[in-house]
Amino acid sequence: LASQNESINAVVIGASGGIGTALVSALSKRPNAGRIYAASRNPHEDARQNVIPVQLDLENESTIECAANQAAEDGPLHLVIVSTGILHDSTVHPEITPEKSWSALNADQLMRVFAINTIGPSLAAKHFLPLLDRDRRSVFAALSARVGSISDNRLGGWYGYRASKSALNMIIRTLAIELSRRNRNAICIGLHPGTVDSKLSAPFQSNVADDKLFAPAFAATRLLEVVDQVTPEQSGRLLAWNGLEIPA
Ligand SMILES: NC(=O)c1ccc[n+]([C@@H]2O[C@H](COP(=O)([O-])OP(=O)(O)OC[C@H]3O[C@@H](n4cnc5c(N)ncnc54)[C@H](OP(=O)(O)O)[C@@H]3O)[C@@H](O)[C@H]2O)c1
């Protein structure tokens, strides 16, 4: 996408998050940046000319549909990145912490994690995939996580987060199959950003070596490089920040 001469229109869902903020910033500075729609629950005015704040709550489908309609007004989209997610929610839901044991499994907690991490991005795909350009290369990417890999799970724990990301990975794979039949220029992938310094990772950073904790701007740059280079054969896969595929 970076090498396309024509301008690219992009949407970042979760534009208020650590990684989402950095993605909007990196995209808005690209020479071929068209309109960058920055979607979040509580959008603020933005001084950047090409950044358009949009309201969107993943738990309210009509706001997803409205945001998609707004983004469609300026023609087809070339990049949609869903950068939302929860692992813990100490301010609004102090009861949501990653489960260390099966004894901590709780229906309300599991449903909330699935609502944000799996169902929300699925509904975003429902409304945004039809807006991808049919004549030029375009990418829909959702931030997932390595811990959603079933074959890579050796440590256990974090039941809800892991399972919600595994389910998201399956949704992405299934979307990619349908997308290949509907729009041969479009690609759908999951992305693992590495461990990134953000609100989401803050309580879990103590065991992470300094050189393994990425700044959001670094993660955004690497994720956009992956998006720029991803091939149609890789559609449906989960790719890490360094471009390597993570097995399901
Ligand atoms: N940070 C890491 O180390 C790491 C590692 C692996 C994977 N990831 C994944 O990367 C993605 C981004 O994480 P991050 O580190 O940037 O986390 P973050 O800073 O906590 O951002 C999370 C974002 O999700 C949004 N969100 C939550 N519920 C929402 C809802 N109902 N509707 C709309 N937006 C909602 C938040 O919006 P509000 O501002 O409105 O709350 C915020 O923009 C997540 O999918 C995460 O699982 C992160």
Looking at ligand 1, which residue's alpha carbon is closest to its atom 44? 85
Q: Return the pLDDT at 9.
A: 97
Q: Are 181 and 133 in contact (CB under 8 A)?
A: no
Q: Return the pLDDT at 39.
A: 98
Q: Locate 6 and state its tokens.
A: 């024509």
Q: What mean pLDDT is reported for the chain?
A: 95
Looking at ligand 1, which residue's alpha carbon is closest to its atom 40? 41
| CA angle (192, 133, 78) in 5-degree steps | 40
| Strand (E) or helix (H) holding 231 | none
Q: Is 84 in the pocket of ligand 1 (CB under 6 A)?
A: yes
Predicted structure pTM score: 0.97
Residue 88 exposure: Cα atoms within 13 Å on the Cβ side: 16
| CA angle (125, 128, 131) in 5-degree steps | 140
Cα–Cα dist 199/215, whole Å? 12
83 CA → ligand 1 middle, Å: 6
Q: Locate 71 and state its tokens.
A: 């983004």
Q: Pick the residue with more confidence: 231 or 4? A: 231
Picking from 123, 147, 176, the residue whose alpha carbon sits closest to that of residue 240 is 147
Q: Return the pLDDT at 165.
A: 98
Q: Locate 42 and state its tokens.
A: 């509580």
91 CA → ligand 1 middle, Å: 14
What number is the average pLDDT over the span 15-40?
A: 97
Percent of the chain scored above 70 by pLDDT? 99
Q: Could you report the per-residue pLDDT of 85-136, keeping only the tens digit for each?
A: 999 876 767 777 899 999 999 999 999 999 999 999 999 999 999 999 999 9
What number is the average pLDDT over the span 211-227?
A: 97
Percent of the chain scored above 90 by pLDDT? 90
Residue 14 Cα: closest atom of ligand 1:
43
pLDDT surpassing 80 at residue 144: yes
Residues facing residue 239 across a β-bridge? 191, 245
What number is the average pLDDT over the span 148-175?
A: 97
Q: Is 198 in the pocket of ligand 1 (CB under 6 A)?
A: yes
What number is the average pLDDT over the span 44-48?
A: 94
What number is the average pLDDT over the span 233-238?
A: 98
Q: Are 144 and 169 in contact (CB under 8 A)?
A: yes
